[in-house]
Amino acid sequence: MKNILSVIFVASAVLFVGILMGMQMQTIQEVPIVGEKEVYSIIDKTFFSAQKPENKKILSSSYQKDVQMHLPAVSYEGFGIMTTLSVSVKPGEGNMYFNFNNLLMAPDTEQSIRNAIYVASDVTNISISNLNFYYSISDINASMLEGPSAGAAFAIATISALEGKKINPYVIMTGSLNHDGTLGLASGIKEKATIAKQRGANLFLVPYGMSKELNFTEEEHCQMYGVFEHCQMEYTAYWIDYEKEAGIPIKEIKTIQEAMKEFFA
């Protein structure tokens, strides 16, 4: 009898786990969009609908807008590359889709897109509950999209799509995005500024305090004490000015509203 009960218990546990896994798999799927070979993967089917009730503008049920903007990145080899970010807004049920050419996407990158949509909704006062958002990035020299440094750029592109504003193609930016619309950290400033300059940009936006980098020279100093010699490493501080290094004007900004003034002026 004990053996029979044990078998029943194990079988029930396996069945329960299988049901949970099946439910989890339903939250991520691939959805074909109009156009050949254009397949977007849905990230989350319900995170828009989980928002609190809001008093925001509702766009027309026929509203649709596609925008593109330049997005700097750093390759695995350590040099700057310029990609193209495309964002489409269409009537929908509050879903977010992405097509990053079969790349794996790190959780922090996914969260940066979520933040971008929420911030864009707040800044524009436009409801996102009845819209679908589609994101794609081209020309990525990597196997995995990681890091939150594109968060602010995602927000600018989303705002452009929601309001139909034209993006200034000669402005490039990098910076992570906080939930309140302020900018956080970014990496690869020099490499991204350099590729921005090479691609014809005339302004590079970075988070506040990140246009320069504090560095140190290292030199060994030796001194005689009687017949004994003592050596130690000494360090001298100096600043790396990315504006001079890359040859492009760099402006530090604190908020997404400041970035909007440069992109939509």
Q: Digits of tens for pLDDT over the chain (265 positions)?
A: 545 545 455 455 545 545 444 444 343 344 444 444 455 555 554 445 445 556 899 999 999 999 999 999 888 788 888 989 999 999 999 898 887 665 555 667 778 888 999 999 999 999 999 999 999 888 665 444 556 889 999 999 999 999 999 999 999 999 999 999 999 999 999 999 999 999 999 999 999 999 998 889 999 999 988 889 999 999 999 889 999 999 999 999 999 999 999 999 8
103 within a domain of the structure (yes/no) = yes
> Model pTM greater than 0.95?
no
Exposure of 50 in the CB half-sphere (CA atoms within 13 A):
7
Q: Which two tokens stand for residue 178?
A: 């906080």
Question: Which CATH number does the domain housing residue 58 bear?
Answer: 3.30.230.10
Distance, in Å, from the CA atom of 263 to the CA atom of 265, rounded to the nearest integer, reads 6
Sorted by sequence, the CB contacts under 8 Å of residue 156 that are 6+ apart come out as 69, 167, 173, 256, 259, 260, 263
Strand-pair partners of 224: 229
232 within a domain of the structure (yes/no) = no
Q: Which two tokens stand for residue 60?
A: 């027309």
Is 190 exposed, middle or buried, given 0-12, 13-18 or 19+ CB atoms closer than 10 A?
middle
88 within a domain of the structure (yes/no) = yes
Distance, in Å, from the CA atom of 92 to the CA atom of 172, rounded to the nearest integer, reads 30
47 within a domain of the structure (yes/no) = yes
3 within a domain of the structure (yes/no) = no
Query: Residue 127 belongs to what domain range?
Result: 29-210+243-263
228 within a domain of the structure (yes/no) = no
76 within a domain of the structure (yes/no) = yes
Beta strands in the chain (DSSP E): 29-32, 39-44, 65-74, 80-91, 96-99, 104-105, 131-138, 144-145, 171-173, 203-207, 212-225, 228-241, 250-253
CB-based contact 262:249 (threshold 8 Å):
no
- Number of domains forming the structure of the chain: 1
User: How do 228-241 and 212-225 pair as beta strands?
Assistant: antiparallel
State phi, psi for 188 to the nearest 5 degrees: 65, 35
Hey, is 90 helix, strand or coil?
Answer: strand
229 within a domain of the structure (yes/no) = no
